[in-house]
């Protein structure tokens, strides 16, 4: 075996190496554990690396090859730490769950375990998935491997950074308002949020149940499809899960002939950075080169999506997080003489500031006398946002937008301004409100940092989205791997030319 380049290896390639006997599951796993050992002290993507388990299990896969053969057997994966894993702590990056040991496993993770994937560990996130930079984590702040002075996005920033830094082959994340797509965009990888209900939420610690969805983060669209294939399905334990009308296909499309792609004018009016806009326009031009057609469309209620989301998501969060009371899970205050004081102190000590802010907003929005004015109204706006998409999808097959209005921002630059942080998801949130599937693929660099291109489709159009994204991905040819430079690290770090990456494919990206 030659040395494995974990910064570039795709799951598709890794699978072939395994099948051809050119590498063993143990060797493959070790390559990721070695990369973790080499860079994790700079990236901080993982809350927990389950190195011993991973090494042991991969050896077992090799030994029991016959019994454990399967399409994903022996492929290592990272899992966002808001999916419960039996016997492996699940913290949601919160002090209130710092010691929580689940007694069961989330269905999506269970399906992968049953397929004999090798879990490398649990990745960092904004506490309870509330945030857009992973800086709300109660454990640590993850850094973006493209520039360690910047954030990886969030809330699945740990999963995205792990994949981008070659510390994982691929990963699971969750997306309530953009938390898979936005970090994928900021880290230069592919991330997909499936149609609401396509993947079971059983065992995903609930943030906003009507919006939450598990999905893949990977280095290619093909890998995304491959992983998605193995986590979708109706689950008797999640009443909101549904069977897809057709199985997920591995994408092969190279052209976009006849595909109509709508570009919503409202999305381009929302403070998109010039560099992001330029990459977006170039990618839209590629759609046409591949035989597709771009049309301007209108989603008139876009401007109300963000405010509606910031009523609905906190309202659901306030209800969901009521279960953390110091009795049933995790942390309990050391210092209380009566039950009410115990609840209050436990929650006061256990939750971080953003989670408290959301619980307060949500509780207020749901309180008697305000329910109609806030929650009821936000739900009506949600219906309008959904109808906007429905009518646009009568004219076009897909909708395209930048994934994030900006590239990765500097750590600390938005932490004092929740509204600026909330704006990070302006292009992704409407998709969750409407329950639709969407993907983000890298479409080039701006100031040396990756830009994401979002494709949104009607409910259950996963195959259409994956096919189009696959064709575009090949045309874009984004192959850069991050350099782990640190632009804040004085002359040496700052001296590195912008966008310097370890790959030869730099030309044509800018």
- Positions in the binding site for ligand GLN (CB under 6 A): 129-132, 155, 175-179, 207, 313, 425
Q: Are 450 and 230 in contact (CB under 8 A)?
A: no
> What is the nearest approach in angstroms of ligand GLN to the Cβ of residue 360?
15
> What is the nearest approach in angstroms of ligand GLN to the Cβ of residue 242?
20
Please, which residue, 155 or 195, has the CB nearer to ligand GLN?
Answer: 155
Active-site annotation holder among 179, 241, 440, 461: 179
Please, which residue, 20 or 416, has the CB nearer to ligand GLN?
Answer: 416
Question: What is each CA distance from 165 to 33, 144, 436, 502, in whole angstroms?
Answer: 12, 8, 29, 12
The residues, any chain, with a CB within 8 Å of residue 360's CB and separated by 6 or more, are 318
The residues, any chain, with a CB within 8 Å of residue 174's CB and separated by 6 or more, are 80, 82, 83, 129, 155, 156, 180, 204, 207, 212, 213, 214, 215
Please, which residue, 259 or 272, has the CB nearer to ligand GLN?
Answer: 272
Q: Are 471 and 252 in contact (CB under 8 A)?
A: no
Question: What is each CA distance from 489 to 59, 147, 213, 492, in whole angstroms?
Answer: 40, 10, 37, 7
194: tokens are 């499936």
> What is the nearest approach in angstroms of ligand GLN to the Cβ of residue 406?
14
Please, which residue, 332 or 414, has the CB nearer to ligand GLN?
Answer: 414
Please, which residue, 358 or 485, has the CB nearer to ligand GLN?
Answer: 358
The residues, any chain, with a CB within 8 Å of residue 365's CB and separated by 6 or more, are 311, 314, 315, 371, 374, 375, 378
168: tokens are 């994982």
User: In this structure, which long-range contacts are made by residues 500-503, counting pairs with CB atoms below 8 Å and at least 24 apart in sequence?
Assistant: 500/448, 502/7, 503/8, 503/479
Active-site annotation holder among 58, 133, 137, 155: 155
Peptide bond into 416 cis (omega under 30): no
> What is the nearest approach in angstroms of ligand GLN to the Cβ of residue 362?
11
Nearest to 180 by CA among 203, 148, 213: 213
Active-site annotation holder among 80, 174, 200, 220: 80
Strand 260-264 vs strand 293-297: parallel, antiparallel, or unpaired? parallel
- Please say if 80 is a catalytic residue: yes
Please, which residue, 50 or 179, has the CB nearer to ligand GLN?
Answer: 179
> What is the nearest approach in angstroms of ligand GLN to the Cβ of residue 26?
34
Helix then strand then coil, % of the chain, to nearest 5: 40, 15, 45
> What is the nearest approach in angstroms of ligand GLN to the Cβ of residue 501?
27
3-state SS of 242-253 is CCCCCCCCCCCC
- Please say if 155 is a catalytic residue: yes
Please, which residue, 61 or 208, has the CB nearer to ligand GLN?
Answer: 208
> What is the nearest approach in angstroms of ligand GLN to the Cβ of residue 313?
5
Please, which residue, 397 or 425, has the CB nearer to ligand GLN?
Answer: 425
- Please say if 179 is a catalytic residue: yes
User: What b/e sequence results for 294-319 when a residue is b if at least 16 CB atoms lie within 10 Å of its CB, and e otherwise?
Assistant: beebebebbebbbebbbbbbbbbbbb
Please give the Cα distance from 369 to 363 (Å, whole number): 12
> What is the nearest approach in angstroms of ligand GLN to the Cβ of residue 155?
4
Please give the Cα distance from 131 to 425 (Å, whole number): 9
Please give the Cα distance from 371 to 158 (Å, whole number): 35
Enumerate the active-site residues: 80, 155, 179
């Amino acid at each position: 075996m030659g040395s494995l380049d974990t910064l570039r290896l795709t799951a598709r390639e890794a699978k072939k190496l395994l099948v051809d006997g050119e590498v063993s599951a143990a060797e493959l796993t070790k390559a990721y554990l070695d990369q973790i050992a080499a860079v994790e002290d700079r990236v901080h993507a993982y809350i927990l690396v389950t190195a011993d388990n991973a090494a042991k299990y991969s050896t077992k896969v090799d030994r029991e090859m016959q019994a454990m053969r399967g399409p994903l057997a022996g492929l290592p994966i990272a899992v966002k730490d808001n999916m419960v894993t039996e016997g492996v702590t699940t913290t949601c990056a919160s002090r209130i769950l710092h010691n929580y040991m689940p007694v069961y496993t989330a269905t999506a993770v269970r399906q992968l375990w049953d397929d004999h994937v090798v879990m490398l560990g649990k990745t960092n996130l904004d506490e309870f998935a509330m945030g857009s930079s992973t800086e709300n984590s109660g454990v640590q702040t993850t850094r973006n491997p493209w520039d360690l002075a910047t954030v990886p996005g969030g809330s699945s920033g740990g999963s995205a950074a792990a994949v981008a830094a070659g510390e994982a082959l691929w990963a699971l994340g969750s997306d309530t308002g953009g938390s898979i797509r936005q970090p994928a965009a900021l880290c230069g990888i592919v991330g997909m949020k499936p149609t609401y209900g396509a993947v079971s939420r059983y065992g995903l610690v609930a943030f906003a149940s009507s919006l939450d969805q598990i999905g893949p983060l990977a280095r290619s669209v093909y890998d995304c499809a491959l992983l998605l294939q193995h986590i979708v399905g109706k689950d008797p334990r999640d009443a909101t899960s549904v069977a897809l009308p057709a199985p997920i296909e591995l994408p092969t499309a190279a052209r976009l002939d006849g595909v109509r792609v709508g570009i919503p004018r409202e999305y381009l009016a929302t403070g998109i950075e010039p560099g992001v806009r330029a990459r977006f326009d170039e990618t839209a031009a590629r759609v046409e080169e591949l035989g597709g057609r771009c049309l301007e469309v209108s989603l008139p209620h876009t401007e109300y999506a963000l405010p509606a989301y910031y009523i609905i998501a906190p309202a659901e969060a306030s209800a969901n997080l009521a279960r953390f009371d110091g009795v049933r899970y995790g942390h309990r205050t050391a210092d209380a003489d009566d039950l009410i004081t115990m609840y209050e102190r436990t929650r006061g000590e256990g939750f971080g500031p953003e989670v408290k802010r959301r619980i307060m907003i949500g509780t207020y929005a749901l309180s008697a006398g305000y329910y109609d004015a806030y929650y009821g109204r936000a739900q009506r706006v949600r219906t309008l946002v959904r109808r906007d998409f429905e009518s646009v999808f009568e004219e076009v097959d897909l909708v395209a937008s930048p994934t994030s209005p900006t590239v990765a921002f500097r750590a600390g630059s938005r932490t004092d301004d929740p509204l600026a942080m909330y704006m990070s998801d302006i292009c992704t949130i409407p998709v969750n409100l409407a329950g639709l599937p969407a993907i983000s693929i890298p479409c080039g660099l701006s100031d040396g940092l990756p830009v994401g291109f979002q494709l949104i489709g009607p409910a259950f159009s996963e195959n259409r989205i994956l096919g189009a994204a696959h064709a575009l991905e090949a045309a874009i040819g984004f192959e850069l791997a991050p350099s782990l430079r640190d632009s804040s690290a004085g002359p040496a770090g700052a001296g590195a030319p912008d966008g310097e990456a370890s790959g030869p494919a730099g030309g044509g990206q800018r």
